[in-house]
Amino acid sequence: MEAIQSRAMNTFAETQAASRSRIYSFIAECFRYPDGQFRAQAQNGDIQSAFGQLFSALPYAFDWTEKEQIGLEGIAAAAEEAIEVEFIRLFEAGPGNPPCPLQEGLYREDRKTVFKELVLFYNHFGLSYEAGSQADRPDHVCYEMEFLHYLTFKELLAIQNGKESLPYMRAQRDFLDRHPGRWLPDLVRKMDKIGNHPPETHDAAMEVFWFYAGLAGMVARFAAAESGYLNRLLNK
């Protein structure tokens, strides 16, 4: 799935839907392998600034916790190589599974069932996982966030075209509750456990760790906030 562009926003409803869609897309970017552009943004604090601007347009109040604020302020002390090394250590390396995997199925009892349900979700809304590049597993956080980016974009298009947007909002709520909302808190707990008992490592690596811990905490809270927001609207 790729980032999607829309027409100019003319109403608050459009602006809010667009902001929510961009946040999901940006979250997906942040959990990909850190390329040169991302490493530079993380080092100088641009990641935090970008999220802050997007938060300001949300239809509900959402802000950083102190822990997230500190973690995402910037990791200037960390060399670019240290960012890559810590990303691999946390999310990709390790015997068996990494310490903090980014795949939902590794937090659930039956990964095959998770895969099947996710692919059905994607296919129902016209996104064929089988026909895609499959660079990410269907249960990877990046793929799940890009799907929510797609659903919120479809909500935006419906608003702009004077059509019913509730089906897309229901799909967002159901997907959040059945998938990211169920396993992201477990990811945060794994990272908190590492933070409480950090391995022997130099300060730059821990700075990168706290960056990703802050990101994971924010994303888990955002998913919960989105679910609450959608439930309030859909239950009116």
Radius of gyration of the chain (CA): 18
Which of the four pLDDT bands, split at 50, 70 and 90, describes residue 165? very high
For residue 140, list its beta bridge partners.
Answer: 103
pLDDT digits over 73-131, tens only? 878 777 778 899 999 999 998 667 899 999 999 999 888 899 999 999 999 998 876 64
Residue with tokens 């459009």: 14
Question: Could you tell me if residue 204 is inside a domain?
Answer: yes
Q: What is the CATH classification number for the domain harbouring 185?
A: 1.10.3480.10
Q: Which helix (H) or strand (E) holds 187?
A: helix 180-196
Q: In whole angstroms, how far apart are CA 59 and each of 62, 132, 134, 178, 232?
A: 9, 33, 33, 23, 12
Which of the four pLDDT bands, split at 50, 70 and 90, describes residue 149? very high
Q: What is the average pLDDT value for the chain, to the nearest integer?
A: 88
Residue 24: give the domain boundaries. Answer: 12-234
Output DSSP code: residue 132.
S
Question: Could you tell me if residue 215 is inside a domain?
Answer: yes
Domain count, the chain: 1
Question: Could you tell me if residue 175 is inside a domain?
Answer: yes
In sequence order, which residues have a C-beta less than 8 Å from that of residue 98 and are 6 or more positions away?
89, 90, 91, 92
pLDDT digits over 186-200, tens only? 999 999 998 887 655
Q: What is the mean pLDDT of residues 35-50?
A: 90
- Main-chain phi, psi angles of 103, to 5 degrees: -110, 125
Residue 140's SS3 state is strand
Question: Could you tell me if residue 111 is inside a domain?
Answer: yes
Question: Could you tell me if residue 5 is inside a domain?
Answer: no
Question: Could you tell me if residue 18 is inside a domain?
Answer: yes
Residue 164 burial class via C-beta count within 10 angstroms: exposed 0-12, middle 13-18, buried 19 and up: exposed
- Main-chain phi, psi angles of 140, to 5 degrees: -70, 145
CA dist., res. 108 & res. 115, Å (int):
11
pLDDT digits over 202-231, tens only? 577 788 999 999 999 999 999 999 999 999
Nearest to 217 by CA among 193, 180, 181, 189: 189
Question: Could you tell me if residue 80 is inside a domain?
Answer: yes
Provide the pLDDT for residue 81. Answer: 84
Question: Could you tell me if residue 108 is inside a domain?
Answer: yes
CA dist., res. 43 & res. 214, Å (int):
14
